[in-house]
Amino acid sequence: MATLTVEIVTPEAPLFSGPATALIARSSEGDFTILPQHTSTVGDVVSSIVRVDTTEGTVAFAVHSGFFQVGKGFGEDETLATVLAGVAERTSEIDVARAQAAKDAAEAKLAAVNRGDHADDDDQLVALAALERAQLRLRAAEFSAS
Amino acid sequence: MAGGQERVLRRRIRSVQSTRKITKAMELIAASQIPRSLARIIANRPYRQGMQRVLLEAALGDPTGAKKLLTLPEKVDTALVLVITGDRGLSGPYNNASLRAGERLVAQLRREGTTVRLFCAGKKAAAYYRFRGLEVEESFVGVVDRPTFSQAQDIARRLAGPFMAGETQQVFIVSTRYLSAGSQSVEVEQLLPLVVPELPEDPAEKELKGYTEFEPEVEKLLFFLMPRFLESEVFSALIEGAAAFHTSQQRAMAAATENADELGQTLTRVMNRARQDSITTEIMEIVGGAEALRSGK
């Protein structure tokens, strides 16, 4: 029987590795779903919530951009889907209070930049990136609660 | 007279013993860091290999684009060199080995008429090269002991910046690779233009691998991939360097402790002999004095 193995890895640690029924994520071209026997594919993953459906339920991850690769696994008729992310976390492990605080801090920083307190382009980009990360974390935490 | 020598020896023994305490403590601390730093290498392995696979796939999918992005221009005017050492010394040959390899690389590049821009990670590298009169353009301190991925990202960005701006055509990294507990070696690797792991020249081999889809199209993907791949390689160099540092330090400090033990033993023997000598001399003096008194009666 065709099977699918999903791996979610970050530089610091592998987050998930195991059999799954589907992998649902978003690339710069749009949402996609990987099922067993998917053709070999390589692509990017934009900042979004990545869902892994297993027979025991759904596991979700907040992935802050990365890449994915689908190819033949080691076993017979096994499809291996790997998501490579610089930063990612399990939605159930997100610290909502911290994410909220980070979001507020990033918003304050952006407001300050826009008022012209800092003329630095870098500051604005850093603040924007921080805001995006915080927003994704909050959305992901909501997703796991629902 | 002889008692003075004994006192001097006693002082030296005490000093050797307190040095031994320090080296022993450093040995234990280094030893305790080893498993943690090894665990990080192992945890990083799936990511690094995954990145290499993705890059290989993308390079195979677009050989012409890959060639443009991944091959060296005919003339290299400027090269950037990043040397990774430790922040601290007392680690055996670890620092010196990379420093010397870095120096050789710089000398070789200069002989070929290339301008070298030197980047250093680790306090020791910057201090060494500055002392030698080499200009260190950037020095990253406090990252080599327990490197985080965001620190690696930061370094990767600083390395890629001049390359993307066309100020430099080649980027090297000099670091210590952790091959196994017994074997670490300094390696000079070319980071940019990216070296694709084992790019097969044979088109037939590509056929065998079958057809791969890309999302987005492969040209764009390669472009996105480059900086991420660079980060991954810098991070793995940093964590392997940290593991090699702790291993090397543990070994050096174990040897130092052993030497201190040996020295202490030798000194104790010399001191005992000196003490015995002084006692013998003293007895001889007393006996001689008593003899003199009796015969004088």
B38-51, pLDDT tens digit by residue? Answer: 999 999 999 999 99
Q: What pLDDT is stored for residue B192 in this prediction?
A: 82
Query: B174-215, pLDDT tens digit by residue?
Result: 999 998 888 889 999 998 888 776 655 555 555 455 678 888
pLDDT band per the 50, 70, 90 thresholds, residue A34: very high
A42 and B58 within 8 Å at the Cβ level: the answer is: yes
Helices B94-111 and B218-296: crossing angle in degrees, nearest 10, is 130
The residues spanned by each domain of chain B are 2-25+257-290, 33-252
Q: What pLDDT is stored for residue A119 in this prediction?
A: 59
Query: What span, in angstroms and rounded, lies between the C-alpha atoms of B82 and B94?
Result: 16
Please indicate, yes or no, whether residues A109 and A135 belong to a single structural domain of this protein. yes
Please indicate, yes or no, whether residues A87 and A136 belong to a single structural domain of this protein. no
Residues of B in contact with A121 (CB under 8 A): none
A29 and B216 within 8 Å at the Cβ level: the answer is: yes
Domain that includes residue A35, residue range: 3-92
Query: A42-98, pLDDT tens digit by residue?
Result: 999 999 999 999 998 899 999 998 999 998 888 788 899 999 999 898 888 888 888
Whether B24 and A5 have beta carbons less than 8 Å apart is answered as no
Query: Across chain A, what does the average pLDDT equal?
Result: 87
Indicate the residue of B43, B50, B225 with minimum beta-carbon distance to A82: B50
A42 and B213 within 8 Å at the Cβ level: the answer is: yes
Provide the ipTM: 0.85
B53 and A69 within 8 Å at the Cβ level: the answer is: yes
Q: Is B246 on the interface with A (CB under 8 A)?
A: no
What secondary structure letter does DSSP report for A86?
Answer: S
Q: What is the dihedral of CA A28, A33, A36, A38, to 10 degrees?
A: -40
Q: Rounded to 5 degrees, what are φ and ψ at A10?
A: -120, 165
Q: What pLDDT is stored for residue B2 in this prediction?
A: 52
Please indicate, yes or no, whether residues A82 and A108 belong to a single structural domain of this protein. no
Q: What pLDDT is stored for residue B183 in this prediction?
A: 86
A44 and B221 within 8 Å at the Cβ level: the answer is: yes
A40 and B212 within 8 Å at the Cβ level: the answer is: yes
For the domain B33-252, what is the CATH code?
Answer: 3.40.1380.10
Q: What pLDDT is stored for residue B1 in this prediction?
A: 47
A82 and B215 within 8 Å at the Cβ level: the answer is: no
Among chain A residues, CA nearest to B210: A40
Residues 6+ apart with CB under 8 A from B44: A11, A12, B235, B236, B239
Q: Is B51 on the interface with A (CB under 8 A)?
A: yes
Query: What span, in angstroms and rounded, lies between the C-alpha atoms of B204 and B207?
Result: 5
**Any idea what the CATH number is for the domain that residue A36 is in?**
2.60.15.10
Please indicate, yes or no, whether residues A37 and A76 belong to a single structural domain of this protein. yes
**Any idea what the CATH number is for the domain that residue A112 is in?**
1.20.5
Interface test with A, best of B60, B62, B215, B224 (most A CBs within 10 A): B215
Closest by CA to A70, choosing from A84, A91, A53, is A84
Please indicate, yes or no, whether residues A35 and A87 belong to a single structural domain of this protein. yes
Please indicate, yes or no, whether residues A106 and A117 belong to a single structural domain of this protein. yes
Name residues of chain B where pLDDT drops below 50: 1, 207
Distance (Å) from the alpha carbon of B240 to chain A's nearest alpha carbon:
13
Interface test with B, best of A9, A33, A42 (most B CBs within 10 A): A42
